[in-house]
Chains A and B, each alone.
Chain A
Amino acid sequence: MASRYDRAITVFSPDGHLFQVEYAQEAVKKGSTAVGIRGTNIVVLGVEKKSVAKLQDERTVRKICALDDHVCMAFAGLTADARVVINRARVECQSHKLTVEDPVTVEYITRFIATLKQKYTQSNGRRPFGISALIVGFDDDGVPRLYQTDPSGTYHAWKANAIGRSAKTVREFLEKNYTEDAIAHDNEAIKLAIRALLEVVQSGGKNIELAIIRRNQPLKMFSAKEIELQVNEIEKEKEEAEKKKSKKTT
């Protein structure tokens, strides 16, 4: 087992593992699920809302955060680590705008976050950030982007991905259901995100939060009513599909 090589971040094990980084990925799995979908003209971020305590103000428990007007991210993992990363990313976005007079590209800010995370995997006395992030947005060229970063500091572009608890289940659902048709229309992409979350979220639409960015438009957070509407539509479509199936069999 890992005991000898897992205490210090700067120590490799004989078979090449950085155990602290792998343990940080376990911390990510303790956060609730987040899903990101890249449509043709829209990017969607959906998250499973964490159950809040009775006396807690719900608005202060946020999983989707805007980094700039045209970029936003969702995270899974250690709340405090996420706050630090988001703050640094937001400062970097403004600094870039002031220096270069252009807003950051989604890839630039993703690379910044990933580099920051990697630094903490190679520093003495520090531990890796225990979060994975899904970063979405539109660049100036109008192309939608979705990136995912993880505690090791790697980042990749995705068409659709999920992080957090039950991410595997959601990813498998997306692999089966993500088609060019499914994401051709904005509404379909939104429904796909909700359907993916409903696979793993208990008690349905009440526990889902959704945010979208359309080309040349700012971030839009869905209200609970709007999500409920979408969930009802999805359920209707499900029922109709089942009716058709039963008709075919008879």
Chain B
Amino acid sequence: MAATFFGEVVRTPCRAGTEDEEEEEEGRRETPEDREVRRQLARKREVRLFRRQTKTTLEVSLLEKHPCSKFIIAVGNNAVAFLSSFVMNSGAWEEVGCAKLWNEWCRTTDTAHLSPAEAFCVFYHLKSNPSVMLCQCSCYVAEDQQYQWLEKVFGSCPRKNMQVTILTCRHVTDYKTSESTSSLHTPFLKALKTQNFKEPPFCSLLEQPNIVHDLPAAVLSYCQVWRIPAVLYLCYTDVMKLDLITVEAFKPVLSSRSLKCLVKNIPQSTEILKKLMTTNEIQSNIYT
């Protein structure tokens, strides 16, 4: 026990261990209230997979219901814009499911009425070839929700004869390199693949000690564990908001086996991309 300058008596920290352990244990014991709060929080943060058209929840995992041979996942607004302009415009895509989730990153606390932009991951398959699946994920999936997301999408026993491609962006300040940062020409692509992925990637591999974060990392780890061939294309950029140059940095990926047959009209795609950019800019008063 020691007295502070102000006359309070405080317990001095003891490295040998605390004396009054009983007191502390009482504090640690969970009350029914705590349990209820924890349960409510878990319910709030649950990842729900459902079909928007019928408003029914999916009973089985998405890939069990819709087995696929090619699965392309876009995480983040630039990757989503890339797939929307270059892949989704050539062919008819049908929405097969949507994952709704809430976490502290969402701008609303109302879990019942979440807007698609905030909290949805939408899944599509190509009408002419339903074994090609696409996921547009522009919301943030928190660490505790990633496992749930994987279970609900891939299932507990996924097929191995499918190929997964993940596209995402990261800010260039996260990129660690021994070279001078002024020699980096952003945006640039880096790839990371699972052991079973045999195709050569379209850019250099991500060097150590750089790591991948969030949902793309979770998906890639999952694929590595289940021996599914998967590749992640990570675009390091200095503009995190929707940006034409960053989106176009993904273009080399269009010549990959997964995407080659899905891309038909590149000039038209570039036009669609420009329109996407201008609709975002229209409310901006910076330029007249």
Return the chain B residue nearest A56 by Cβ.
Answer: B285
The one of B183, B184, B288 in contact with A61, judged by C-beta atoms closer than 8 angstroms, is: B288
Q: Is the interface of B mostly helix, strand, loop or mixed?
A: loop
Residue with the highest number of chain A CB atoms closer than 10 Å, among B185, B285, B286, B288: B288
Q: Which residues of B contact A51 (CB under 8 A)?
A: 282
* Per-residue interface assignment for chain B, residues 183 to 215, with 1 indicating a CB less than 8 Å from any chain A CB and 0 otherwise: 111000000000000000000000000000000
User: Does B287 have its Cβ within 8 Å of any Cβ on chain A?
Assistant: yes
Interface hits, A74-118 → B, CB 8 Å: 75-80, 82
Count, chain A residues at interface, CB 8 A: 19
User: Does B54 have its Cβ within 8 Å of any Cβ on chain A?
Assistant: no
Tell me the complex Cα distance, A31–B182, Å. Answer: 30
User: Does B283 have its Cβ within 8 Å of any Cβ on chain A?
Assistant: yes
Q: How far apart are A138's CB and chain B's nearest CB, in angstroms?
A: 26
Count, chain B residues at interface, CB 8 A: 10
Q: Which residues of B contact A30 (CB under 8 A)?
A: 287
Q: How far apart are A27's CB and chain B's nearest CB, in angstroms?
A: 7
The one of B185, B282, B285, B287 in contact with A27, judged by C-beta atoms closer than 8 angstroms, is: B287
Tell me the complex Cα distance, A63–B287, Å. Answer: 10
Tell me the complex Cα distance, A241–B202, Å. Answer: 54
Tell me the complex Cα distance, A78–B285, Å. Answer: 9
Tell me the complex Cα distance, A106–B47, Å. Answer: 66
Q: Is the CB of B287 within 8 A of A3?
A: no
Q: Is the CB of A31 within 8 A of B185?
A: no
Q: Is the CB of A79 within 8 A of B282?
A: no
User: Does A32 have its Cβ within 8 Å of any Cβ on chain B?
Assistant: yes
Q: How far apart are A43's CB and chain B's nearest CB, in angstroms?
A: 21
Q: Is the CB of B183 within 8 A of A53?
A: no
Contacts A51-B282, A53-B283 known; A3 to B288 CB distance under 8 Å? no
Q: How far apart are A149's CB and chain B's nearest CB, in angstroms?
A: 16
Q: Is the CB of B287 within 8 A of A31?
A: yes
Tell me the complex Cα distance, A195–B184, Å. Answer: 45
Return the chain B residue nearest A3 by Cβ.
Answer: B182
Q: How far apart are A73's CB and chain B's nearest CB, in angstroms?
A: 13
Q: Is the CB of B288 within 8 A of A50?
A: yes
Q: Is the CB of B288 within 8 A of A63?
A: yes
Q: How far apart are B270's CB and chain A's nearest CB, in angstroms?
A: 16
Give 8 new A-B contacts, CB below 8 A, not counting A3-B183, A32-B288, A53-B282: A1-B185, A3-B182, A3-B185, A4-B183, A51-B282, A76-B288, A77-B288, A79-B288
Identify the B interface with A (CB < 8 A).
182-185, 282-283, 285-288
